[in-house]
Amino acid sequence: MIRIENLRKSFGTFEAVRGVSLDVPKGSFLVLVGPSGCGKSTMLRMLAGLETPSAGIIAYGGHVVSDGARNWTIEPARRDNGLVFQSYALWPHMTVAGNVDWPLKVAGMTKPERRLRIAEVLKLLGIAELAGRYPNEISGGQQQRVAIARMIAPKPGILLFDEPLSNLDAKLRVEMRTELLRIHRATGATSVYVTHDQVEAMTMASHVAVMNEGLIEQFGTPGELVANPASTFVATFVGTPPANLVPILPSPEGPALAGRIADRTLAGSAAAHAMFRAEDIAVTAEPTARSLALDFAEASPIAGRLMVTGTSGDLRLTAIVDEVPRFTIGDIVHFSLPARPSALFTASGARLN
Ligand SMILES: Nc1ncnc2c1ncn2[C@@H]1O[C@H](COP(=O)(O)OP(=O)(O)O)[C@@H](O)[C@H]1O
Ligand SMILES: [Mg+2]
C-alpha cells in the first residue's frame, strides 16, 4: 500500500532522515518508534506531503506521491491521507459537528451525504451527544476524539498519527490505544503511527519500524523484534523489561562476561555483548558458578511475578523471578546467567548469530 524507497530529508547540512526504505502492507498498523529527535515526525510529514523529500520516493497504492529527485510532492489535501497530531487544532468557532463537516465540504459532498457521514463517525467515536458543543466545552480526551473523527470522516485510505495520545493522562492514553485500533479496523485503512513510547508501539502495532538517528534499525512484527533483535539498540529499546546486555571483556582465562564469568565458548568470536532475557536470569542470595554480584537496586511486581534490578558500575541487570529473599538497598544480590546467551552482538552493536 505504501512504498518508501531510499527516503532522505536534509535541513541545511543536517540529515534528519538518512535513507529509509519500507513496504507497508495494506491494512496494517505500522508504528514508527524511536527516541526523540530520531526523525519520526520528519518521516510522517513527508508521508503527509507537508515536507518534500531531499531524495527517494513515496508511492501510495502504486502511484508516486513524492519524488525527491524531482523535488516534487503532491500537496497534503490531494493525497489519500488523514493526519492527527499531538496538538490537535480544532476550529474553536465551530461546533463538533462543524469541525467534522469541514473536510467533507472541501471534498464536495452534498449536505444530506455530509449529515449522514457526520452522524456515522461521531457514533463510531462515541461522541454523538457532543455534536452541538464547541471545543472549549468538552474535555481534552473528547477533543482528541473529535480530531480523529474529523480525520477519518472523508474516508482516507491512509491514516497518519504523530504521538496523538501524548497529551492525555495515563489512564485515558491506555483506553485510547484500544479505541484507535478499533477505529483502524473499522475503517480498513492503512495506518502509520509515530510514538517514542515502545510499550505503546509493541501493544498497538501489527508492524514496527524502530528508528534511530534517521535510519530504520529494524522492521518486523512486535514478536519478531523481541525474539530476534537485529542490534543492541533494538535489544535494549523494546520489551517489558528490555533484554539485558552484558559486555564481554578479556580476562586471564579468556573472554569473560562482564570481565568476571570466563566463557571459553566465546573464544575467537567477534562478540562484544551478550544478550540475556530477564526471564532467563536467576537471583540468589549466594553466589553460583555463573553469577555476577551486583548491588540490589529495586524489586517490583510485574504480572504476578517479581522484577529485580541490580547494578554495578555501568552494568545493570534485570531478572524476572517468582520468588526472592527480601533484599534491601545495600545488599549484594547474585544474578545467575544461563549457560547460553540469547544473542551475541559486535562492538558496533550488530547482531552476530
Ligand atoms: N524544519 C526543521 N529544520 C531544521 N531541523 C529540523 C527541522 N525539523 C526537524 N529537524 C531536526 O531533525 C531531527 C529529527 O526531528 P523529528 O523528525 O522532529 O524527530 P522526532 O519526531 O523523532 O522527535 C531533529 O534533530 C530536529 O531538530
Ligand atoms: Mg516528533
Residues 193 and 276 in one domain: no
The residue nearest atom 8 of ligand 1, judged by CA position, is: 42
Among 258, 319, 313, smallest CA distance to 284 is for 319
* Residue 253 CB burial class (10 angstroms; 0-12, 13-18, ≥19): exposed
Give the Å distance between the CA of 10 and the centre of ligand 1: 9
Does 39 lie in the same domain as 185?
yes
Give me the number of domains the chain comprises: 2
Strands 244-251 and 254-257: antiparallel
Residue having the nearest C-alpha atom to atom 3 of ligand 1: 11
Burial of 277 (0-12, 13-18, 19+ CB in 10 A): buried
Q: Is residue 82 part of a domain?
A: yes
**Residue 33: nearest ligand to its CA?**
1
Which residue in 189, 188, 160, 208 sits closest to 43, CA to CA?
Answer: 160
pTM of the model: 0.90
Residue 6 in any domain: the answer is: yes
Say if 351 falls within a structural domain.
no
Boundaries of domain holding 226:
2-237
Quick one: 143 and 278 in the same domain? no
**332 shares a domain with 191:** no
Centre of ligand 2 from the C-alpha of residue 43, in Å:
9
Does 352 reside within a domain? Answer: no
* Residues 192 and 329 occupy one common structural domain: no
Task: Report every protein residue that has its C-beta within 5 angstroms of ion ligand 2.
Answer: 41
Give the cell for residue 18: 538518512
The string over 103-126, giving b where at least 16 C-beta atoms fall within 10 Å of a residue's C-beta and e elsewhere, is: bbeeeebeeeebeebbeebbebbe
Mutate to test the pocket of ligand 1, among 10, 31, 42, 83 (most ligand atoms within 8 A of CB): 42
* Ligand 2 center–CA 86 separation, angstroms: 9
Residues ≥6 apart with Cβ < 8 Å to 253: 262, 264
Phi, psi of 80 (to 5 degrees): -85, 50
Residue where one domain finishes, among candidates 237, 269, 288: 237
Nearest one of 219, 150, 156, 273 to 164, comparing CA atoms: 150
Residue 142, judged by CB atoms within 10 A of its CB (0-12, 13-18, 19+), counts as: middle
> 60 with 187, same domain?
yes
Nearest CA among 282, 268, 299 for reference residue 338: 282
Closest C-alpha to ligand 1, atom 2: 11
Of 237, 272, 303, which residue is a domain's last?
A: 237
Domain membership flag for residue 290: yes
Which ligand is closest in space to the CA of residue 13?
1
Cell of 177: 490505544
278 touches 307 (CB < 8 A): yes
Residue 194 CA, closest ligand 1 atom number: 21
In this structure, the answer to whether residues 85 and 43 fall within a common structural domain is yes
From residue 5, alpha-carbon distances to 23, 205, 256, 309 in Å are 8, 21, 42, 42
Same domain, 302 and 232: no
Residue 40 alpha carbon, nearest atom of ligand 1: 22
Residue 208 covered by a domain: yes
Ligand lying nearest the CA atom of residue 39: 1
- Whether 270 and 218 share a structural domain: no
- pLDDT tens-digit profile, the chain (353 residues): 899 999 999 999 999 999 999 999 999 999 999 999 999 999 999 999 999 999 999 999 999 999 999 999 999 888 888 888 766 689 999 999 999 999 999 889 999 999 999 999 999 888 999 999 999 999 988 998 999 899 889 888 999 999 988 878 888 888 889 988 998 998 899 999 999 999 999 999 999 999 999 999 999 999 999 999 999 999 999 999 999 999 999 999 899 999 999 999 999 999 999 999 999 999 988 999 999 999 999 999 998 999 999 999 999 999 999 988 788 998 999 999 999 999 999 999 999 97
Examine the domain organization and report whether 175 and 295 are in the same domain.
Answer: no
Whether 81 is covered by a domain: the verdict is: yes
What CATH code is carried by the domain that includes residue 335?
2.40.50.140
DSSP classification of residue 265: G
Question: Ligand 1 pocket check: which of 9, 18, 41, 215 to mutate, most ligand atoms within 8 Å of Cβ?
Answer: 41
* Whole-number CA gyration radius for the chain: 24
Residue 353 lies in a domain: no
Do 270 and 170 reside in the same domain of the chain? no
Out of 204, 220, 237, pick the residue that ends a domain: 237
All cell numbers assigned to 288: 553460583
CB contact at 8 A, 2 and 159: no
For residue 215, the ligand closest to its alpha carbon is 1
How many Å lie between the centroid of ligand 1 and the Cα of residue 176?
Answer: 26
The three cell numbers of residue 131 are 455534536
Is the sign of the CA dihedral 180, 182, 183, 188 positive or negative?
positive
Q: Domain holding 38: CATH number? A: 3.40.50.300
Tell whether omega for the bond before 241 is within 30 degrees of 0, i.e. cis.
yes
Does an H or E element contain 118, and which? Answer: helix 111-124
User: Half-sphere exposure of residue 290, counting CA atoms within 13 Å on the CB side?
Assistant: 14
* Same domain, residue pair 288 and 185: no
